[in-house]
Amino acid sequence: MNLLSLNIDEIVEKGRKGFITVAIHGLDIGGLILSAAFLKAGFIVIGVDRDSKRVIRLNHGILPKPYLPELAPIFRKYVAEEKFRATINNTWASENSDISIVMIPPEIKKTRSSYDVNLKNLLNVVKDVGKGMSTGSLITIASSVPPGTTVKIVKPILEHLSGLRVEYDFALGFYAEKASECSSLSSFISQRHLISGFGAKSLRVLYGIFKAVFGENILSLNNITLAETMNILFKTYRDVIYAYVNSLVTYMKNIGVDINLVTKYLPEIYGLEVPKPTATVFSSEVFKETYILMKELGKQNINYEVLRIARETNEKIIEKIVELLAEAITKIGKEPKNIKIAILGDAVKENSSDPRNSVTKIIVNELLNAGIKKENIVVHDPFVIDDEELKVELTVNLNQAVKDADIILTLIPHKIYSEVTVSALKAMSGKERVVIVDVANVLRKDTISLGLSYVGLGTPWYEA
C-alpha cells in the first residue's frame, strides 16, 4: 500500500480496519507491548526476532518470558485469527508489510577503563529492511540512538539499498519508544507519544499511523534530530537526578535525617520534585542513554564528568546495599549460615514483570558470598512468575517468602509493597527478632515494636 498517497483520516481508517500491516523488529518486552497495541487497534502485525525458539513459541500463541500477563490472551487471540505471526527474517517482514518499526537497541560494551556504543545490530536490521521495502512504505526507528542517526546513517542506507528516495518514494520517522518502561498495556497506550518525520509527508504518514493506535495523545515534531535528542536528554536527566539522591544516602543515615521526609516536604516548601533513592537505576542496560550522550560529548571534546560520576554513583549503589545488609546481619547476631533472608522484588523496576538486569540477582550473589545458604534465601515478586537466572527460590506468595525470615530486604518499590506495614511483616515472619532493610523505601512504618529494627536507603536506623 502506498501510504504516501493517503491523508491522515484514510490512514487511520485503513489501519483500524486491518488493511495495513506493520512489522515490528525486536520482540523484547517493549516490542511485545507495542505489537499488542497495534493488534488491538486493528492492524495486522508481523513480529521479527532473531531468536528462532521465541518465534516458534509466538506462532503458537505462547509468549516468551518476560511478558506482562495481560498480553497472553491478546496474542493467543490474534495468532488464532491469523492477524499476528512471527519470523526471524527481517527482509521477508519488510517485503510483506507497509510499515517497519525497528526496535533494536544499541549495545553498550564496557571495559574497566572505557566503553563503546555499538549500533551494529540496529544497522544490520535496517539493511535487511532496506532490501525488502517498497514504494509508499514507512520506516521508523524506535530505539534510543545518538542524535542524527536516523537522518545521517539510516536514511542513506535505506535509499541506497532500496533505490527509493525519502519523502518521494517512502516515509521515514523516529518514535521515542516507551513501551519497555510501562507496567501495563493501558498505561502505555494512555501516555503521551513523541514522534517525528523526515519531512511533511513522512510526518503525515507517521501521525496517521500513531493516531490510529493512540488517538490524539501524540506530540509530533518536524525535526527528527530534535526528537532523538529529547529522548536521550530525558533519560539521561533521570540518571543524573537519581545519582544526586543516591549520593546522599550514607550522609543522611549518618546525620540521622530520613531522606524520605526530605523528598516529601521539598515539593511543599520549594516546589521541587526530588525522587527517593533507589537501587533500580544501577544497570547500564537500563540507562544506555547516558553512555550514548557521553560518547557524543566525547567526540567533540566536551567535558562529561557530571554524567560519568552520575552513572558511577548509581552503579555503586550496590555497595551501599551491601553495607546495610552487613549491619543487619550484625544486629541479628547469628552466623550467616543460620540466617534466613526474604527479598521483596525481582523485577528490573517497580510494577514490571521483567526480571532482566535486575539488582536482585546481584544482591543474591553478594549474600551467597557472605555465607548465607542458598536454601535460606527466598525472593518474592507479585509480577515475576519465573526467572531462570535467579539462583534461589522465587514465589508470588508474600507470606511464604517472609515466614521465618530474620532479615527482610525490599529492593523493588512495587506498589503492592506500599500497602504493607513493617509490623505486619514482623508478624508474618513469626520471629521475635526481625531486621527490615527497606532499600526500596516503600514500606509503611507504622509501629517499631520491640524486637524490630528498620532502616531504609538514606534513613537512620529505627529501633524500639
Domain ranges in the chain are 3-222, 315-463
**Closest listed residue to residue 253, CA positions, set 463, 456, 464:** 456
Taking the chain (464 residues) in runs of 10, the rounded mean pLDDT of each run is 96 97 94 96 97 94 81 95 97 98 91 82 97 97 97 98 97 92 85 96 98 95 96 95 95 96 94 92 84 94 95 94 96 96 94 88 96 97 90 95 97 95 96 97 92 96 92
User: Packing angle between helix 224-246 and helix 305-315, nearest 10 degrees?
Assistant: 50
pLDDT at residue 425, as a whole number: 96
End-to-end CA distance of the chain: 71
Distances (CA, A) of 320 to 89, 182, 247, 304: 45, 27, 10, 25
Q: Which residues pair with 171 in a beta bridge?
A: 138
Report the alpha-carbon distance of residue 66 to residue 77 in Å, rounded.
Answer: 19
**Closest listed residue to residue 144, CA positions, set 310, 30, 301:** 30
Dihedral angle, C-alpha 401, 352, 439, 388, nearest 10 °:
50
Domains 3-222 and 315-463 share a fold: yes
DSSP codes of every residue in 318-382: HHHHHHHHHHHHHHHTS-GGG--EEEE--SSSTT----TT-HHHHHHHHHHHTT--GGGEEEE-S
**Closest listed residue to residue 454, CA positions, set 404, 403, 400, 408:** 408
Other beta carbons less than 10 A from residue 130's beta carbon: 24
| Architecture of domain 3-222 in this structure | 3-Layer(aba) Sandwich (3.40)
pTM: 0.90
Which cell is 463 given?
A: 529501633
> Which amino acid, residue 159?
E
Report the alpha-carbon distance of residue 48 to residue 46 in Å, rounded.
Answer: 7
Q: Give the CA angle between residues 225, 227, 229 to the nearest 5°.
A: 70
pLDDT at residue 113, as a whole number: 67
Give the right CATH number for 315-463 from 1.25.40.20, 3.40.800.20, 3.20.20.140, 3.40.50.720. 3.40.50.720
pLDDT at residue 116, as a whole number: 86
DSSP codes of every residue in 280-311: TT--TTTTHHHHHHHHHHHHTT---HHHHHHH
Asked if residues 128 and 91 have their Cβ atoms less than 8 Å apart, the reply is yes
Asked if residues 108 and 30 have their Cβ atoms less than 8 Å apart, the reply is no
Q: Read off the DSSP letter of residue 142.
A: -
Report the alpha-carbon distance of residue 62 to residue 250 in Å, rounded.
Answer: 46
